[in-house]
Amino acid sequence: MPQHIASELVANVAQVHVEPGQKVQAGDEVVLLESMKMEIPVLLEAGGTVSGVYVSPGDVVQEGDVLVVID
């Protein structure tokens, strides 16, 4: 079952650390968000393979927007 990693707040995407096809593990940082001059790392709860990356650096995301999908 795919794991949809979503933003928990309105933020700017500062960095994207993964690409489709990449293997990832629990605890890996997939995206770095920036909000109100604070950096917020988005970490995985479970590992797998990245099947989709839906943001790029400089994007503005809203609460609930899907950032990455892991299979």
Judge contact between 13 and 56, C-beta under 8 A.
yes
| pTM for this predicted structure | 0.93
- Predicted confidence at residue 1, as pLDDT, reads 82
Give the separation between CA 20 and CA 55, rounded to whole angstroms.
Answer: 12
Domain that holds residue 37: 3-70
Q: pLDDT tens for residues 28-53?
A: 999 999 999 999 999 999 999 999 99
Number of domains within the chain: 1
- Write the CATH number for 53: 2.40.50.100
Residue/partner pairs of 24-28 with CB below 8 Å, 24 or more apart: 24/48, 24/49, 24/50, 24/70
